[in-house]
Every structure is written in C-alpha cells, then in structure tokens.
Structure 1
Amino acid sequence: MALIAEGRYEGRLAENDRTVTLRVSRREGGRLDNLSGDVFSTTAHILSFAGDLASLAEVTDADVSGRISGRVSFFSEGALARTGSRFTLVLSDETDDSAVGLTLNLGAGDVTVALSRTGPELRSLRVDVDGLDSLPTPQARIFEGDPAGKDLVSALKRASIAATVNVRPFQPYAAGASTPERLSMGELHSLMDAWSRPPTDIGQAWRVHVLFAGQYSGRGEADVSGVMYDVEPHRRPSRQGLAVFLNSTAIKACTPVNGDNWRREVLFTLVHEIGHALNLPHAFEDNRAQSLTWMNYPRDMPIGAAAFWNSFGESFDTPELAFLHHAPFSDIAPGQNDYAQRRSSFLSGGSNPMLKAKKTTPTIDPTTVKATLAVAPLKATYVFGEPVFLKLAVTNESRRKLSLAKALDPSDGFVSIRIETPLGKQRTLRPPAALCQRAPSMTLAPRKSVAFDGILASFDADGAIFDTPGRYRLQATFKGIDGVTLTSQPSFLRVLHPTRAEELVAISIWDDNALMRAIYCRQPLVALDSWQRLVEEKLRLLPDDGANTTKSYLRYVAALGWMERFAPAARAAAYRPNRRKALAHLRTVEPRDLPQGVSRRCGELLTKKR
C-alpha cells in the first residue's frame, strides 16, 4: 500500500480562504513519528495543532490506501486551547502520495481540506547575514555547498528545515568611524536597528538576522562566542537577531582562519544561536547534559571536547527534533513567543503533557547530590522604582566536593527566577539577551557556598516587574549541576507606596524601553536624550535619602558609561571617554544596599585615577 509521504503539505479552505499547512514526520524505517500543522488567514496566524502521540494510528493493511487517524491538540494565540479533537488524514489517490485530504474540527464542526505536498522539509527559514569589514570573511562553504555537508544549509536540512541564506558583503561599522574591537549590548542593538531591523508582521515566511562581529563587550567578554537577542516586545518582536563573535576565545583559538577547525567552530556557534532563535534552550537546561547536540557546549561535555567532536553527528537530538518538527507556530517561529516561553511541552517550559517527548535519563543519581539553593533580595523593603537586586547562593551540604557551573546569573541559562506580584500574577525573570559563553566550572568544598548578588531584577525583556506596591514572592531554580535541578525556598520583599516624586522617576524609566535598555546595559549613551531628561528633570526631584539607592545606582551607571568609548552605528563619530565626568559621578555613589560588585568597582576606578 502507499503511505502518506513525509514532508510539508499546504491547501486552502474554500469557504474562508484560510491556508492550512500540515507536517508529517517519519522515523528511520518509515514508521510514523507525528504530525502537526497551522491555520493562517491572509494576514495572521490563527491556530496550530499537533498530534497527541499516544493516539496516533496508521493503517498498514495492504488493501487499504494510506490513512492516519487519532487526536490533536489545538493552540490559539500561543496558548493551549483544546485537546483530544479527532482527525483523519487519507491519501486522495493511492497512486499519488503527494495529495491528501485532512478532516478535523477547527471549532465549528468537521471540515475537510485538500492538501498538496510542497516539499520534504517540514519548515523553511531565511537567514540574512551581515558582518563588519574589519573581520575575516567566512568562506561561502560555511553557509552552503560544503562537499562533506558541514554547512549551515545542510545542518538545518538534517533538522527538516529548508534554509535560504543571503550573505551580504561585510561593511564598515559606520561611515567615517573606525570599527570598535568589542561591541557592547547597546552597540549591538544600535547596529541591528541601523542595518536590518526585523519585520513586525510575522507570517509563514520565517527570518533571522546574523551579525558577525569581533568581541562582546560586557560580562564574559572574550568568552562569549555568540548571543541571541531577546529584546523588548514593544520595541520589536523577539528571537529574530543574533551575533557571532569571530574574535572570541573559542573561535580565535582555531587557526588558521577558514581552516577546518575554524569553520567547525563558527558553524557550531551559528547553528547553536539559530537554535535559540527557534526557541530551543541549551540541552543541559533540559537535563540532557550528555546529549550530542548543537545545543550543548563541546568544551563543557563530561566526555570532553575531543570525544564530543569525534562522536557528534552534526544534528539536534531527539527532543529538539520533535520540537523543531511539530512545535506550535507561536512556540517556535521567530518573532512570536518570547525566548523560553513554550506551551507545547516538547521541551521544558510547556504545559501539555500529551505532547511531551521522552526525556534522557540524568547522568548522575540526583539523590547523591546534597546541595541547597537560596534566593533573596539585598534588602527586605524597597522604595517604589528603586533598583531591585537579588542574591543567589548555592551551598554544598554534603561531605563530598561538588562540581557545578559557576553561572548564577539568569542570562547564563542555568538560573530561572519566578516572581509572584501582590496581585497574584506569576512571571519569570527574562534577561534581554541570552549570552552563549563558556560557563566556568568550579568545585565547591563541603559545607561551603558560592553566591552572586548582582542580579538586576527591576525590569526585564517584558518591562517593569516591581511596579505595584505590596509584597512579592521570589523562588529560583538552578540547573548547573549535571542531572540535578535545585529549587530554593520562597523569599519575599515589599515595595512601599510611592511619593509623587518617586512615582514620576519610576514611570519615566518604565515608559521608555530605550532607557531601561540603557540601564540594563549600563550604558546611558544608548539613550542619551532620555537619560539627560531623567537626570536633569526627574532625578533631582528625589530627596537625598540613604534608604533609596536609585540616585546612587544611576550615577554608577552614568560613570561606567563615560569611562568607555561608545560607538553607536547611527552616529558618524564615537562618544569619547570623559573620565572627569565619570569620576564626578563615582564620588557621589553610596554603595550601601547595592551589589558588592558596585562597591568593588567604584573603589578600583577611584583608586586607579588618583
């Protein structure tokens, strides 16, 4: 008998001119894996559906034409809308496996739509590539046409994604300006806006933008090989831009440029970041630290980097492939759900167990790990609008040494912090970018702790967090111990009711996405006009109050901004360092109730400049 072929199908509902797409995947040997699909109007995505794995059945009788039946779950507006709806999929002509008929209930009774096969790959993606002309240009074979299939198009094709890559000539950073060796988060944002602002109307045509830069300027610096942007939803949709740093430690160590090892490292970073743009987490975040996949770090594998490369099949692993093949449109499409926001449960973070893929067994017995996690604010009570910092600590409670990742900031990918507002709303702290860097491992002696108190939690990629007076509940998880997830006990903080001046200062920050980005990046020149209005018109309204750290922290941010050269792409000349202005700000900083790093950095800079 003829089986329904693996691939992507498309058709139209005649009564309302809606487009229906269908994806059918098969395992090795031809056995049915799963199916899924989407419904689009002429202007927008309407809903997605995915097969409930346990219910799927395929007729294999030689006398019956291809037929698949079972149940699907529907997702609308990114949320699970309905489960257990029956469907049937049959070949329209048993001599032609490219034409099928799909019958399912879209909400107003059963409808049948005729679908035609459009190709063997289940998804499609356009990749636009830019770079700085001061850097070595990667050979074309990194993107497409490598004889051994070690290129971007081939890597995505193995994940059933048909990729079109558009590589533009590398260009100067800005007209008349020299190219900075390192780019800060603010400069990367500026360059993205100037060169390739992502579209806001996301339909069936998926697109991501890749920027090749030198080094990252910020936490981790040379150890950061790549970054996937996850910026404010009100500024542009999420997960559409990423950067690869060709002068990062890992890539620069691979010589010669465009040699085998160099191309391998660049390609790995590129595919890894595109995986994030498609909403894949690191595999180690999903208890798959041993998995040979694009989404783990070869250098951090328990088997070692050499063994990883010898065994790596240049593929995503089984749970990742299930997600890439069948995740709902809002979970996976660039520009839709924010990073790590997934409703389908193919990977962690979802809410529909009927779709969950089988997980890999942890590599160690969790019962042998005796460690605790604690999260707490730096003080119990905050003034309205005051910068809120959290401290995270891991303690080894056993008599044995404990190996863990020294990565206690949420942007490292190992930490998740849940916050419950006074109104009962739950949200997860989401850094504006996911940095892909080598997380240093460390050994924690028995009865010892490691802590980090510099987690800025005042706002994140979704905006202000502590914007309502009252009591907030905090709880954290940490996945930096192989095979183990630590969960903290809840802690609490209270935000006081504001004075008029406090409310004006807070709102002036929260209503300006560029200003929040400048504070997060610790670079006021990202939003100079907004920053000057804040300082000159609003901040001086606040009285000098030792219990309110707002003035001190903003002065600290201003000092850091003026200490370094800053070169936004839209400006012909870079802002030069102004150390006199920076030191004037530093001398007014009172570091009490701020992170230890603020006090330490202030001391270093003031001592150095005397």
Structure 2
Amino acid sequence: MIDGRYDGANGRFLVELRIDQTGDDGRGVISGDVALSRAAGPAYLASFRTSTALAATPGGPWAVVCDAQNGDVTRGTVQVRPDGADAVAVEFKLDGPLNGLPFGTVVKAALKRQGEAYRQLGVETEIEEGVALPKPVDGSGIPVTFKKWMAYAGVEVVPAGDKSLIPAHNGGWDWNEANVLGVISGIDQFNLAMSRYTELDLDVPAWQVHMLMLSEPTRPELYGVMFDLRGDNPRQGCAIFVDEIRRSFANNQPERQILWTMVHEVGHALNLTHRFEPAIGRNASTSFMNYPWEYLGGKEEEQYWLDSKQQFDPDELAFLRHGNRSSVIPGGAEFHSFDYWSLAPGGKPAFTPTLPDSKLQLKLVPKSGDPFFAFGQQVQLKIALLNRSGQTIVLPAGALDIKAGYLGISVRRTTRNAPPPQSFVPMVQRCLNQSAGQTTLETNRMVESNVSLWFGAGGFPMAEPGGYELTPVLSLSSPDPSPDESPLVVVGAPLKVWIEYPKTRDDERHGVQLLEPDVGAFQALGGGNACGSAADTVQAIQEERVSRFGMSDPLAASLTRTLGIHYSRAYLTYGGKRFAPGRADNARAGRLLSRLTGDPVAMLNFDEVTARETRELAERVLHQ
C-alpha cells in the first residue's frame, strides 16, 4: 500500500480513506470517513480510526474506533488490500449501530489514490487593494510558501471560490472585527445565492476556508483573527493583517511572519488552539500554534526560529490528518471543542491548580458589586489581576483579553445535578504580538480589563435563568522557564452570578428575541452588518424598553451601549459583486451614548471598566 488519501464509492456509500503506515508515533494509522450517497449531495455518517498498531496485525484486519457527529461511538474493523498501483479495496464493518447505520453494517468499496496529502482544503483568498501578498521565504535552503508549509502537515491547499478585490482602506472605515466579518459574510451570502445555479450547498460543513488579506486593524499588533460563529461561519473565516505585520517586522523577516500567520489562522480554522493556553501549557513548543514571541517564556523569539521544524506538533499532526471529520472540518464542531492534545499518543493534559492563588490574585468583579443580571442582559464583568508576589512580573499584551488565549473562564450551573462546567470560548480568536506593549506589574499593583460572557462560539452559556459559577484561569510564562516546564497557571476565585427570571410577559418576549444567535453575535461584536436583521431587533427592543422603563432599565442600558458602538462605525458592505463603503452615523451614536452616560443610574448596569470605556467612546464620538 502507498500512503496518502483514497476515495471511492459503491453505489450506496462514499468512502474517504487515509493510509499513514508510519504515523507520528511509528505505529501507523488508517483513518477514514463514510458518507451516504444521495442525489442532493453526500450525507456524512461516521469517521473511524485504527486503535492498534498496524504492524501488530500485518495485513489486517485492524480494530477501529468509530464515532459520529452526534456523539455516538462504537467499534469495528477495517481491512485494506492493494488493488493495483494506485488503488485499494476496503472493507469496513461496524460492531454496533451508529448514526443510522445498523449493527453489523459492512461497507465494501474500491478506492483510488488521490495524492499523498491526507486532507484537501480549499482556501478562498480576497485581497485588499494595495496589499502585496507575501513572497516565498527560505526554509533550510528551500523556498517555502503557505501551501508548502500546509503540505508538510499533510494538508493540500487548493484555490476555491471567486477572488474579489477589496477596496483600499482609506480612513472612511476601519478593519474592526465586525467589519471584517461583515465582508466575509457578504461574500459568502453572495456565493450561497449563486450556488442555487451550481447545485452547491454552502450552508453545511465543507473543507473550505475564507481568508482576507488586509492592511491594518484598529488594534495595533493584531496580526490575525479567526471567526467561529455558530450557524453562519463556524471556523470558516479568518483575516491576516499584512501591512500591520510588515510594519512591526520591518527589520526582521516580515514575509516569514506573514506566511506563519496564514498557517496559524488556518490552523485555528481546523480547530487547533494555542499551545500556551492553560489546557495545554506548552510554551516550549515550536509549533505554528505557539507564538514565536511566547517561546520559552517570551524571551527567545529568534531561538524559536532556530529550533523550529516548520511543522505542527505530533498531536496536532495526528489530529489534522486523522481526527474525527466533524471536529476538524471548518463548519463542524465549535472551536476548542475537542481535546486532541491529551488523547493523542504521548499527550498529557496540562496541570491546572484547583485553588485560587494567594500571590497573584485573579478576580471577576460584577457591576457595582451586584451579581444579578436581567434575563437577556449581556453578562459583562471586570477582570483584575493583583500582584501580591513581592516581585515585579511582566505581562504579555492582551493577557486579560479573553479573545487572545491566555485567559479562560469556566461556566458552571449551580443547580443540583448540573452538567460539568464548560469553558467559555469567544466567537473571535485574536492573534496578538504579546511582546509588544507588555505590561510591567509591580508588587501590590493591579491591572484590569473587561470581559463579555454573553455569547460565544458555543452559543449562550447562560441562556437559562438561575445561578452560575464563573471561574477565571490565566496562563502566564514562568520567569525562567525550561523546555519541560509548563507556564504558570493562576486560578481566580469563583464568582456566583444570577440570571433573573423574566418578571413580565414582555420581559420574556424581549429575552427570547435577544437569545437569537444573530442578535447574540451582534452584541458580542458591538454591532456590524454581518448579523442579518439583528440591528433592527436590538433597535426595536431598545426603543420599547427606554420608552416604557427609562434608560436605567438593564436591557435598555445594555442595548443602548451596543447601538452606540454600532452607529459610531463605518462599514464596508458587499453585495452583487460590488463593495459599498458606508459612513458612521456619529450624530445618532452621540445621542444614544450621551443619554446613556448622562444617566448615573443607567451606568450602574455596567462594571467599572465597561462604564469607563463607554464614557470614553461617548467623548470621542461627540468630538468628531
């Protein structure tokens, strides 16, 4: 048999097979996916992967573990025999029922080899006018490109979609995250409309990623973002801020950093997470998913490139090549939903303390000390880190930014027999240069930021009324790390919050409307044009609440702030193969924000950091 990807059909089933006789652990792996053949397009049923070493049973059959998108798991066997120079015959058998496949199902098919890559990924690239794509860079004497780096990982990148030239950023609008997602969604919606004539269904998971190559973001040192919006673009859209990278790395190989960022963001789209995050704790990794400036405690950026194998880590490679289709494919399971790092051969979970730290005190603080939130109100909190260690510590830029990877917050229901806690995953993943703009935190000093936990990649974690316990976890580099040392993990004190039950029928009606995913995304982004009619929904509820209950009403205050941010921005809209730059409505934003910030009681609905930032925005808008 020859390693690589094979596919074929038998009339009823479609089979994709991946043969990797060496494997990253030397044991060898065979994995595959089975789909039901239909006139309307294939319906994915299940994935399987060998659970024993291939060499242990020469010639097979090999035991496999089979799992489906709905979470069902069973076992079975797979037999693969050569059938010519570039073909194999496969026989796949289930030991139990799985996702509609009955017990004892046997799938036989003749498969043709498609190439040496284990996966094929279509990348649709849109380029902003005036932005130059990166040139190949030297990789151990070989010119390296984004496609080659992905090929080293076993992923073949092919062009996808129709390229569009995005108008040059000229100051009329900014590349904030809402605007970036709006462009991606606009192009995707146009492609979806056109798909009616090409019989494509773009509203299902597909091996396709949408990548924007843009100039510079609103936030300095932000190099890339990946969006994970359930029901619209789950892990299917990302952006690279090319000019921002060239500015930051003007004297230190910017083209290399741009290509690296492209691989990094596509890694996120394929459900790979940062290596330094608390769950993994491996900042000594040279993987594309670790930051060069985070390597070995953040002081060895050049050493990262000297040590780099220009590759993902073994557990990441195993996941990319042989992971369950639903977990890897863009549009499948939400980001950070599959633990490949501790389940892969040789993997182990990072150690996370269970008790709050007494020297580095991490704390969530609600609005005015009040942990009660109205049904449908955004849960916004202050996050603070107090240094009681007796030593000065250096924090990376964005350490308290929940979208940057260092900070995690678990959410647990406080009811009896509650399900296990879940980690809140934001719908945007930011990749920042953490070494630029570092914060020096002296002893007995505090640094603070704010977090919104209302809507994320997995939807609404606190949608139901009742009590919740929120526990923050922060991963920081050790001052003098060694290759085998995990980052310092700080656990904060749990905070209990309460989502109030609706008091009236209107409270319930408004709360249910605000629990629509598009509306949740609109609030999480601070507005934008990527969320359908969410702006109209928010506007209608805000006007009704203000007229009936005044600005001090929790929902009225929260929605007024969202609309103030929304109208203060200009957006670039795509439709009918044309881009239409818009304008900010500062007059409208100013009226909303000035009325909100002018009401002391209304401002009590926000934590102190959110309130301060809201006042600062109101001042900027009113003076523009």
Query: TM class by shorter-chain length?
Result: 0.7 to 0.9
Say whether the 8 Å CA contact 2:228–2:334 is kept in structure 1: yes
- Residue 409 of structure 2 corresponds to 417
Secondary structure at 1:407 match in 2 = coil
Task: Check if 1:358 corresponds to 2:347.
Answer: yes
Aligned letter for 2:79?
L
Going from structure 1 to structure 2, the CA distance change for 1:29 and 1:339 (only over 3 Å counts) comes to closer
State which of 556, 559, 568 in structure 1 corresponds to 2:561: 556
Going from structure 1 to structure 2, the CA distance change for 1:180 and 1:136 (only over 3 Å counts) comes to same
Say whether the 8 Å CA contact 2:124–2:163 is kept in structure 1: no
Say whether the 8 Å CA contact 1:56–1:68 is kept in structure 2: no
Going from structure 1 to structure 2, the CA distance change for 1:338 and 1:88 (only over 3 Å counts) comes to closer
- Residue 63 of structure 1 corresponds to none
Going from structure 1 to structure 2, the CA distance change for 1:180 and 1:151 (only over 3 Å counts) comes to farther
- Residue 48 of structure 1 corresponds to 47
Secondary structure at 2:331 match in 1 = coil
1:558 Cα deviation after fit: 3.0
Going from structure 1 to structure 2, the CA distance change for 1:390 and 1:51 (only over 3 Å counts) comes to farther
Say whether the 8 Å CA contact 2:61–2:78 is kept in structure 1: yes
Aligned letter for 2:181?
H
1:446 Cα deviation after fit: 4.4
User: Equivalents in 2 of 1:369, 1:292: separation in Å?
Assistant: 32
User: Equivalents in 1 of 2:134, 2:468: separation in Å?
Assistant: 52
Task: Check if 1:517 corresponds to 2:527.
Answer: no
User: Equivalents in 2 of 1:204, 1:13: separation in Å?
Assistant: 23
Going from structure 1 to structure 2, the CA distance change for 1:128 and 1:140 (only over 3 Å counts) comes to farther
Aligned letter for 2:53?
L
User: Equivalents in 2 of 1:465, 1:194: separation in Å?
Assistant: 27
State which of 260, 271, 275 in structure 2 corresponds to 1:283: 275
Aligned sequence identity (%)? 22
- Residue 93 of structure 2 corresponds to 104
Say whether the 8 Å CA contact 2:225–2:265 is kept in structure 1: yes
Task: Check if 1:505 corresponds to 2:510.
Answer: yes
Task: Check if 1:39 corresponds to 2:34.
Answer: yes
Say whether the 8 Å CA contact 2:22–2:29 is kept in structure 1: no
Aligned letter for 2:603?
P
- Residue 198 of structure 2 corresponds to none
- Residue 265 of structure 1 corresponds to 257
Spell out, residue by residue over 1:102-125, the C-alpha distance to the aligned partner (whole angstroms, 9 max, x if none).
443253226363453332211111
State which of 421, 424, 428 in structure 2 corresponds to 1:429: 424
- Residue 588 of structure 1 corresponds to 596
State which of 224, 227, 237 in structure 1 corresponds to 2:225: 227
User: Equivalents in 2 of 1:30, 1:491: separation in Å?
Assistant: 42
Worse-matched range after superposition: 186-195 or 600-609: 600-609
- Residue 91 of structure 1 corresponds to 81
Aligned letter for 2:613?
R
Say whether the 8 Å CA contact 2:411–2:422 is kept in structure 1: yes
1:598 Cα deviation after fit: 3.4
Within 5 A, what are the aligned runs for 1:179-198?
180=172, 182-197=174-189
- Residue 100 of structure 2 corresponds to none
User: Equivalents in 2 of 1:566, 1:20: separation in Å?
Assistant: 44
Secondary structure at 2:310 match in 1 = coil
Task: Check if 1:332 corresponds to 2:328.
Answer: yes
- Residue 340 of structure 2 corresponds to 346
Say whether the 8 Å CA contact 1:471–1:493 is kept in structure 2: yes
Runs (5+) with no aligned partner, structure 1: 61-65
Task: Check if 1:534 corresponds to 2:538.
Answer: no
Say whether the 8 Å CA contact 1:78–1:337 is kept in structure 2: no
- Residue 81 of structure 1 corresponds to 73
Say whether the 8 Å CA contact 2:596–2:603 is kept in structure 1: no
Secondary structure at 1:10 match in 2 = strand
Say whether the 8 Å CA contact 2:173–2:583 is kept in structure 1: no
Say whether the 8 Å CA contact 1:56–1:69 is kept in structure 2: no
Aligned letter for 2:490?
L
Say whether the 8 Å CA contact 1:7–1:25 is kept in structure 2: yes
Worse-matched range after superposition: 316-325 or 177-186: 177-186
Secondary structure at 2:253 match in 1 = helix
Worse-matched range after superposition: 566-575 or 118-127: 566-575
Runs (5+) with no aligned partner, structure 2: 97-102, 193-200, 479-485
Worse-matched range after superposition: 262-271 or 412-421: 412-421
1:210 Cα deviation after fit: 0.8
1:147 Cα deviation after fit: 8.7
1:195 Cα deviation after fit: 2.1
Within 5 A, what are the aligned runs for 1:69-468?
69-79=61-71, 81-82=73-74, 85-92=75-82, 98-105=87-94, 107=96, 108-109=103-104, 111=106, 113-116=108-111, 117-133=113-129, 135-138=130-133, 148-166=142-160, 171-173=165-167, 180=172, 182-197=174-189, 201=202, 206-217=207-218, 221-231=219-229, 233-234=230-231, 236-248=232-244, 250-255=245-250, 261-285=253-277, 286-302=280-296, 303-342=299-338, 345-347=339-341, 353=343, 355-359=344-348, 371-378=360-367, 379-396=370-387, 398-405=389-396, 406-421=398-413, 424-425=418-419, 426-439=421-434, 441-446=438-443, 448-452=445-449, 454-468=450-464
Going from structure 1 to structure 2, the CA distance change for 1:185 and 1:58 (only over 3 Å counts) comes to same
Aligned letter for 1:81?
V
Say whether the 8 Å CA contact 1:130–1:167 is kept in structure 2: no
User: Equivalents in 2 of 1:187, 1:49: separation in Å?
Assistant: 39
Q: Number of paired residues?
A: 568
Aligned letter for 2:246?
I
Aligned letter for 1:164?
V
Say whether the 8 Å CA contact 1:211–1:243 is kept in structure 2: yes
Secondary structure at 2:234 match in 1 = coil
Spell out, residue by residue over 1:227-262, the C-alpha distance to the aligned partner (whole angstroms, 9 max, x if none).
11111x23x2411111111222x3323449xxx923
Aligned letter for 1:280?
L
- Residue 570 of structure 2 corresponds to 565
Aligned letter for 1:388?
V
Aligned letter for 1:380?
P
Say whether the 8 Å CA contact 2:274–2:290 is kept in structure 1: yes
Spell out, residue by residue over 1:173-195, the C-alpha distance to the aligned partner (whole angstroms, 9 max, x if none).
39xx9675631222212211222
Going from structure 1 to structure 2, the CA distance change for 1:111 and 1:466 (only over 3 Å counts) comes to closer
User: Equivalents in 1 of 2:383, 2:403: separation in Å?
Assistant: 13
User: Equivalents in 2 of 1:389, 1:28: separation in Å?
Assistant: 45
Aligned letter for 1:8?
R
Aligned letter for 1:291?
S
